[in-house]
Amino acid sequence: MKPSTENKNDVKFLGDMPADQFRKFGYELIDWIANYFENVEDYPVLPHIKPGDIRKQLPLSPPDEGETMEKILKDIDKIIVPGLTHWNHPNFMAYFNSSSSGPGILAELLAAVFNSNGMLWRTNPSSAELEQHTLQWLRQMLGMPEDFWGIMYDTASVASMHAIAAAREQAGINVREKGLAGRNDLPKLRLYASEQAHSSIDKSAITLGLGLESLKKVPTDDEFRMLPDELDKAIKEDKKNGLLPFCVIATVGTTSTTSIDPVSNIADICEKENLWLHVDGAHGGSAAIIPEMQWIFKGVERADSFLINPHKWLFHPVDITAFYTRKPEILKRAFSLVADYLKTPEENIVDNYMNYGIQLGRRFRALKLWFTIRYFGVEGLRDRLRYHLFLGKEFTTWLDAYPAFERMAPVPMSTICFRLHPKNINDENKLEELNLGFFKEIDTNSEILISHTRLNGKYVLRVNMSGLRMELRHIKKAWEIIKTKAEEILTKL
């Protein structure tokens, strides 16, 4: 019956799913999830489907009447699972892994239940304070000093964009009021990152109205690390030409090879030139929680801001980015705008997170950081990352011992770039063709998922070991598959 407003007695309470149904299907779903993780290896890591295969199974219009949960859950198995790329699969060795852990998943469930919007301290004091507190825990784990203030954003891309916006604010050119367009009182702004920096930096330049031309890609050495002398030279040249340098991005763990920029040397230059230094440690930065790996963060303590992605290498469900800055007041100056309806009595004594970014509403992400750190413990997380470093070393040893493979970059963490390079082929075009075919063979016919990149213009294959469910046996199997495919190709040659 539809609610009628004419007669109050006709108005029917509509409400949510009844508690008994929620309980029944909640238990069912938790069982389903536990079974999924127990059997995740039985799924193909990459689905065998074509574009459009999922949509053609879905009705063109939404249902007028509600459907049963039985029917909805059945479609998970029938339609959704066959179309999943299984990031939790231990044979997922592509990109940077983001595998989710039990405690992270349970925390996400609770976050959805509370569904509180942490835009202001008042709109969810627990979220605001847990966010501050867990970020301070994580800062301690990373060995970073106390003057770093933290905030959670969704992705590394968005966090870096906020860093660059804060850097622009620091440059004192009043973009906040006047914008950039149509101004003849402004020189061209200049932002620096290495040739190996993530494409999100380019996207920030686009989004912030700086334009791609404002991003200077600094050359790297033969280990794909930014050359500080080249940075210094570029800044001097730009200044001579009337440009306004304002920000440098260093990367700890670049996307292709996990190379580590010399942050201390870059910090020297930034301090001398008064430029904002932001460090992108999206994937690799997490390794700094291991005492013997803390060297990778040398110099980051002098940065103006840095980030890591717990959703990459600390087993959190996507998304969560931990962003830190020593200059929260500048970030706030760039973004704070308090509409009258958002004013609160305690605004002078609390951090209202809405003031530190473009979004107003925010998820309760701190719960998953709290659950995950507490459940595994700092030592438990360190041991898991250490194991991945061990897996990376094992794979590298096997690869280096096999003459037809050429390793294309050092392996400071657990990401390995290589290509097939038979002794008798040295023509780069032929090698490219050979490796494109090699990748296709692995991608279409096998049980593992790897990715590719380009280094010094050369097409290379790339494997990454940072999945929570990865064991030595999976790496051994992956190596067997890669080696066998290579041998098949070499025999045909």
Contact pattern from residue 88 through residue 107 relative to ligand PLP, giving x for each residue in contact according to CB under 6 A and a dash for the rest: --------x-----------
Q: What is the CA radius of gyration of the chain?
A: 25
Taking the complex as a whole, the smallest distance from the CB of residue 385 to ligand PLP amounts, in Å, to 16
With CB under 6 A as the contact rule, which of the stretches 23-31, 57-65, 155-163, 228-236 interacts with ligand PLP?
Answer: 155-163
Q: Which residues contact 145 (CB under 8 A, 6 or more apart)?
A: 301
Q: Which two tokens stand for residue 337?
A: 């705008």
Nearer to ligand PLP, 170 or 309 (CB): 309
Residue 419 three-state SS: strand
Q: In terms of CB distance, is 123 or 157 closer to ligand PLP?
A: 157
231 or 431, CB closer to ligand PLP?
231
Nearer to ligand PLP, 309 or 355 (CB): 309
Among 100, 220, 251, 257, indicate the residue that binds ligand PLP (CB under 6 A): 251
Virtual torsion, Cα 478, 311, 226, 449, nearest 10 deg: 20
CA distance 284 to 410: 14
DSSP annotation string for 85-106:
--TTSTTB-SSS--PPPHHHHH
Task: Return the range that interacts with ligand PLP (CB under 6 A); candidates 61-69, 227-235, 253-261, 463-471.
Answer: 253-261
- Closest contact distance (angstroms) between CB of 155 and ligand PLP is 3
The two tokens of residue 392 are 């990376």
Which of 157, 204, 220, 325 is in the footprint of ligand PLP by CB under 6 A?
157
The minimum distance between CB 186 and ligand PLP, in angstroms, equals 28
Angle of helix 263-273 relative to helix 228-240, nearest 10 degrees, comes to 20
Stretch that binds ligand PLP, among 138-146, 151-159, 261-269, 473-481 (CB under 6 A): 151-159
Decide if residue 466 touches ligand PLP (CB under 6 A): no
Question: Is there a cis peptide before residue 319, judged by omega within 30 degrees of 0?
Answer: yes
Angle in degrees, 0-180, between the axes of helices 366-400 and 125-141, rounded to the nearest 10: 30
d(CA 320, CA 200): 16
309 binds ligand PLP (CB under 6 A): yes
Residue 283 within binding range of ligand PLP, rule CB under 6 A: yes
What DSSP character marks residue 430? Answer: H
> 451, 440 in Cβ contact below 8 A?
no
Q: Which is nearer to ligand PLP, 23 or 454 (CB)?
A: 454
Q: Would you count residue 363 as binding ligand PLP (CB under 6 A)?
A: no
Select 120 or 163, whichever has its Cβ closest to ligand PLP.
163
Among 91, 124, 204, 255, indicate the residue that binds ligand PLP (CB under 6 A): 255
Residue 254 or residue 325: which is nearer to ligand PLP going by CB?
A: 254
Region for 25 from its dihedrals, namely left if φ exceeds 0, alpha if ψ lies in -120 to 50, beta otherwise: alpha
User: Given the rule CB under 6 A, which of 11-19, 247-255, 387-395, 436-444 is the region that contacts ligand PLP?
Assistant: 247-255
Among 156, 279, 300, 369, binds ligand PLP (CB under 6 A): 156
Q: Which two tokens stand for residue 328?
A: 């929260």
- Asked if 280 touches ligand PLP (CB under 6 A), the answer is yes
Told to check if 282 binds ligand PLP by CB under 6 A, we report: yes
Name the residue with tokens 């929620």.
22
Residue number with CB closer to ligand PLP (111 or 260): 260
Tell which residue, 213, 272, 220, has the closest CA to residue 250.
220
| Number of residues this chain uses to bind ligand PLP (CB under 6 A) | 15
Contacts of 465 (CB under 8 A, 6+ apart): 93, 97, 388, 391, 392, 395, 414, 415, 475
Q: What one-character DSSP code corresponds to residue 193? A: E
For ligand PLP, the closer of residues 123 and 321 by Cβ is 321
Q: How far is the CB of 196 from ligand PLP (least distance, A)?
A: 9
Cβ-based nearer residue to ligand PLP, 280 or 351: 280
Nearer to ligand PLP, 95 or 353 (CB): 95
198 binds ligand PLP (CB under 6 A): yes
Neighbouring CB atoms inside 10 A of 43's CB total 17
Q: Could you tell me which residues come within 8 angstroms of residue 225 by beta carbon, excluding any fewer than 6 positions away?
A: 194, 259, 260, 261, 262
Give the residue from 49, 119, 83, 52 showing the smallest Cα distance to 338. 119
Q: Strand, helix or coil at 200?
A: helix
Our finding on whether 355 is near ligand PLP (CB under 6 A) is no
Q: Which stretch binds ligand PLP (CB under 6 A): 128-136, 252-260, 441-449, 484-492?
A: 252-260
> What's the rounded Cα separation, in Å, for the pair 372 and 361?
23
Nearer to ligand PLP, 152 or 270 (CB): 152
Is 465 a binding residue for ligand PLP by CB under 6 A? The answer is no
Chain residues in the site for ligand PLP (CB under 6 A): 96, 155-157, 198, 200, 251, 253-255, 280, 282-283, 309, 321
